[in-house]
Amino acid sequence: MGSCRFSMFRFLCLIIILFVVSGEEVSPRIVKERISLLSFRSGVVLDPEGALESWNSSGVHVCNWTGVKCNNASDHVVQLDLSGLSLRGRISPALANLSSLLVLDLSRNFFEGHIPAELGDLLQLRQLSLSWNLLGGNIPEELGFLHHLVYLDLGSNRLAGDVPVPLFCNGSSSLEYMDLSNNSLTGEIPLKNECKLGALRFLLLWSNRLVGRVPRALANSTNLEWLDLESNMLSGELPSEIVRKMPKLQFLYLSYNDFVSHDGNTNLEPFFASLVNSSNLQELELAGNNLHGEIPPIIGDLSTNCVQIHLDENLLYGSIPSHISNLVNLTLLNLSSNLLNGTIPPELCRMGKLERVYLSNNSLSGEIPAALANISHLGLLDLSKNKLTGSIPDTFAHLSQLRRLFLYENQLSGTIPPSLGQCVNLEILDLSRNNISGTIPGEVAGLKSLKLYLNLSSNHLHGPLPLELSKMDMVLAIDLSSNNLSGTIPPQLGSCIALECLNLSGNVLEGPLPSTIGQLPYLKELDVSSNQLSGNIPQSMEASPTLKHLNFSFNRFSGNISSSGAFSSLTIDSFRGNDGLCGEIQGMPSCRRGHVIHISFILPVLLSLFATPLLCMFAYPLVLRSKFRSQTVIFNGGDLEDEDKETKDLKHPRISYRQLIEATGGFSASSLIGSGRFGRVYKGVLQDNTRIAVKMTQCPLAQLMDFCVDLSAILPLGSYSKICSDVILELIELGLVCTQNNPSTRPSMLDVASEIGSLKQYLSNPPSLVIEESYPKASAS
C-alpha cells in the first residue's frame, strides 16, 4: 500500500514537472482531472483511429486533448465526447473525479464490462450517453441520483436485470430523454403513482423483456412526444386513458406485445378515440398484438399529419372502412395478416401520398380497383394471399414509381398486361399462384429495372420463353415453374449475369440445356426438372464454382455424370427420371465400357447393313441365272414350255434390283407364290411383259449381328472388334465376288453356302485370345 502511494506521488510530481518545463501555469484542479483522464486512457486497449494520441503528448494542454472541453473560467473539464471512435476497453471509475463534468458521451464504441457505479457521483452531469457499446450487467441505481440529468441513453448494449426504481422516481425531474432500448431488461416499468416525470418527452424502452401493464403514472408525462414500448411482453388493455393525456404525442409504438382491445378484446374504438386529440400524431404502430375487433370508422378522424399506420399481424375482421381515406397525408398503410374481408375500397385512391400499401394475407375479394393507379407516388403494393378475382388492371401502367408489386396467391385470371412494361422502376414482380393465362409479354420480360426477382410460377402461361428475358442483367431470381411453357431454353439467358436462382421446372420445355446457364458467375440454384429436355447435361454445370442446388430430374437427359465439382454434393434425387444417364452418383447405373464403339468397328457394320441385303436380293438371281437356270421358270401366255430348250435359246438381260421391286410390287404379299425354310418365292412382270419368279433367301446378317452383341459382353473391346470386323469384311468380300459380270469367275451357290458356314463356325469357335491384365508391381520391402 505504501509503495502504491509512493508511486502515485512520484507520478503526480512528474506531471507537475512537465508543466513547469513546458512553461505552463498549472492549477491543482486541472492536474487532478488530467490524472483522471490518463487513468481512463489506460483502460482503453485499442484505439484504431489514433484519436487519443494527443493525450500522450506533454506539449498539449489537457483542455486541447481530443474530445475534451474545459470551462475557461473555472479551469474544469466540462465535456468528454469520444463518441464513434471505435475505442475498445473498459470505462474507468476515475471519470467520477471530473466533478464539473456536464456531458459524458462514449457512445458507438466497443466498451465492455459494467457501467461504473461511481458515475453516480457526477452530480453536475446533464447528458450521459453510453449507447451502442458492449456493456453488460445491471444498470447502477446510483445513476438515479443524477438530479440534473436531462439526457440518458443506455440503449443497444447487453444490460440485464430489472430497471432500477430510482431511475424513474428519485431521478431528475428535468429528465427529457430516456433510452434503455435494445437490451435484455426485465421486470415491470418501475414508475409509481407518486413519481412524476413531467419534463419527459422521449421514452424508449423497445426490445427488452419488460412485463406487466403500462403504469398509469405515465399519464403525468403530458409533454411526451415519443413513446416506444415495442417488442416487449407488456399486457393489459391498450393504454387509452394514458395516451388521452398526451396531446403532444407524435410517435406511438406499441407493436409486438400482448395488448388487447377494450370490452374483452372486441372493441378498438375507445383507443382510437383517445388519439383524436393528439393533433401532431405522425406514426401509430399496433402490429403483432392479437387484437380483435373491427377497424372503427373513427380511424379517419386521426390527425391529418399521420403518415404511417401499422395494424398488421392481428385478428382484425370486417371490412376496411372507407373513412380511412381521410388521412390524406398517409404514406404507409399496413393492414396485412388479419381477417379482413370485403372489397378494397376504391376511396383509397384519394390518398395521393401513399407510397407503401400492405393488404396481404387477408380474405379480401372482388377485383383490384383500377383507381389505385391514381396513387402516383405508390412504390409498393402488396395484395398477395387474398381471394381477389378478375384481371390485373391495365391502368397500373401509370404507376411510374412502382418498385414492388405482389399479387401472388389470389384467384386472378386473364393475361399479363403488356402495359406493365411501362413500370420502368419495377424491381420485384410476383404474380405467382394465380390463374393467369396467355404468353409472357416481351414488354414485361424485358424490364431491365428488375433487380430482385421475377416470379410468374404456378399459373397457366404457355408459349416460348421470351428472348427479352436476357435483358434482365440485374435480376437475382427468376421463377417460371409450374406453367405450360414450351420450346427451347434460349442460350441468351446467359446474359442475366446477376442471376442467383433460376427455376424452370414443371413445364414442357424441350431441346438441350444451354451451357451458357452453367457459366453464370453467381448462379446458386437451378431447377429444370419435369420438362422434356434432352441431350447431355453441359460440362459447365459441373464446373460451376457457385452452383449448390441442382435438379435435372424427370427429363430426357443422357450421357455420363461424374461426382465431382458442383455434382459432388448431389444425390440421385437430382437425376431421377432420366433413363439415359449413367455415372458415378450413388444409385445411378454405371456406364459400361462396351457402350463405346470405335469408328474402326462402326464403319464395317454400317457397310454390312447396307451391302448384305443388296447382295442377297440382287446377286442371288444373277447366280441362279448363270449356274442354276433350271430353277428359273418362264411363264408365257400361261403355257409352260420345255425348260431345257428355253434356257439354251434365250439370252436373259441383266435385271436390276429396282426392276425386281417394280415387277413384284415391292415384294408384296399378293405377289408371294410360296415360302420355305430357306426363303420365299415371288412372281412378277417386267416392263417387257416377261413374267418371272424370284426367290429371296434368308440372310444370316441379323443372326451374325446378334452374335456380335453377345460377344461384346464377354470379350475385351479390341478382340471383340477384331472378330466381328473380320466376319463382316469376309461377307462383303464374298458379296463382291458374287456380283462379278464374268460368270466363269462367280462362285456357285454351294460355294457361297460353304463360305457362310465357315464364317459361322469361326464365330462359334473363335481363336483363343490372350488377355493380359497389368497390375502394379509390389514395391521392394
Is 695 marked within a binding site?
Answer: yes
Q: In this structure, what C-alpha cell is assigned to residue 776?
A: 502394379
Whether residue 435 contacts residue 410, with contact meaning beta carbons closer than 8 Å, is answered with: no
Side-chain half-sphere CA neighbours of 247 within 13 A:
1
318 φψ region: left (φ > 0), alpha (ψ -120 to 50), beta (else): left
Residue 600 φ/ψ, nearest 5 degrees: -65, -25
Nearest CA to 407 out of 465, 367, 374 is that of 367
Instruction: Identify the helix (H) or strand (E) that includes residue 42.
Output: helix 28-42
Quickly tell me which residue has 445513476 as its cell. 143
Whether residue 552 contacts residue 527, with contact meaning beta carbons closer than 8 Å, is answered with: no
Q: In this structure, what C-alpha cell is assigned to residue 731?
A: 461377307
Whether residue 339 contacts residue 316, with contact meaning beta carbons closer than 8 Å, is answered with: yes
- Residues contacting 577, CB < 8 A, separation 6+: 553, 554, 555
* Sign of torsion over alpha carbons 734, 739, 741, 747: positive
CA gap 211, 495 in Å, rounded: 55
Exposure string over 505-537, b if 16+ CB within 10 A, otherwise e = bbbebeeebbbbbbebeebbbbbbbbbebeeeb
Gyration radius of the chain's alpha carbons: 47
Q: In this structure, what C-alpha cell is assigned to residue 351?
A: 390518398
- Residues contacting 583, CB < 8 A, separation 6+: 560, 561, 562, 563, 590, 591
CA gap 383, 364 in Å, rounded: 9
Bridge partners of residue 158, in order along the sequence:
136
Residue type at position 108: R
- Residues contacting 754, CB < 8 A, separation 6+: none
Quickly tell me which residue has 469376309 as its cell. 730
Question: Which residues fall in the annotated binding site for ATP?
Answer: 695
Going by the annotation, the residues of the binding site are: 695
